[in-house]
Structure 1
Amino acid sequence: VDAREVHPPLAVADAYSAIAMPGETRPDAPTIVSVDPRLQVMKSQQRPKQLRIVSSTGERRMYLLKGREDQRQDERVMQLFHFVNEYLAKGDEGGLTLHRFAVVPLSHQAGLIEWVPDAPTFGSVIREHRGGNADPKLTHPERDILNDILHSYADYDRLTIAQKVDTFATLVDCTDCTDFRRWMRLGARNAEAYIASRRAYADSLAT
């Protein structure tokens, strides 16, 4: 996607000279120099866009531009994690911290999320564990089960919260929920590495 075709001012560098980089709150924070007008559309359900911004220090940062979601809730979660980290720093938890990243709501329906490198999705982990590009019927057996469960529903997105929870619970009962655990165990060099990975995961934002 070329953002200049959607909003031509994106190509005007002077438009950003007084705007701090997304997520920065310091008085001497670097400002935006330019925004790469070429946006990569991701394959997930909401089709978020990968956005690159160049700062006044020459650093090129990546963000996820998400629409159709209220990012203010995610922003509040990051603020909560900040207070949790302050509490953990005062205790005897052995240096535990929750990983935080910048969340910048632009409106009640769109926002920027700081790009976290080397962070695979649960979907990619499961696909890798089950055989990568193998037959989807082998790597995604839940799809057939889900289709059978939803056969009486016209549109999953229109289900009530209670119906979605019931569908999820039924799907969990019908499938093996050990993929992620086995992926971590098989990918570890030894028992110590597995324990370290499990500890890192438990300490991460994913929990």
Structure 2
Amino acid sequence: MNKTIKIFSLILLFTLTQITLGQELTTSQQNELKSKVKLAAQNTKTIVSDFEQVKHMEVMESDIPSNGKLVFKSPNLIRWEYVTPYKSTVVFKEDKLFVSQDGKKDAYDLSSNKMFRSLNSLIVGSLNGDMFDNSKFEITYFTDAVGYRVVFVPKEKKILKFIGSFQLKFDKEKGEVLEVKLNEPNGDYTRITFQNKKLNSAVSEQEFKL
């Protein structure tokens, strides 16, 4: 189980937040947002983006920053590469999870691990617009001056052991994901913001080989 927790800590890209979420959306506004997100996803074949991650731990005096690069290729190829302050890479490909860290490489079968399979579905869904699943999450929608925030609370007890809730922040005009946040049950959190995003640029299959 310790190894499972370590992998989750490495690849989870979300955070707990205590900020005011803003005004809750009406049903018609929710449907409008979901349609906008779906349309943006349908028009996106690849994503290449820098990201900044902040890890907050209650036992630490200061947050832990890191930087890296995301590469996504529709429908479900994902590469998260951390560059600073440490180097590590996580790849989701063909129902497999590949992890490279400190010169060591590991592979895990997502199809035989319900927890990893759920995690993969969550991450892919956040990138392809297919995450609004009321059977898996309690979902609440908010709007503020900056954009839309959607809060997801997993219904599955095994997932709740690791994820209290997570949030996605969307651009109001385009419906693109700007920020991803995760609540951990113990009060720790991780936040990732995307920068220098390029859509539909050429992405080689080599990006998803470790």
TM-score of the aligned structures, taking structure 1 as reference length:
0.25
Give the structure with the higher percent helix: 1
Largest Rg, 1 or 2:
1
Structure with more relative contact order (C-alpha pairs < 8 Å, separation 6 or more): 2
Scaled by the length of structure 2, the TM-score of the pair is: 0.25
More strand by share: 2
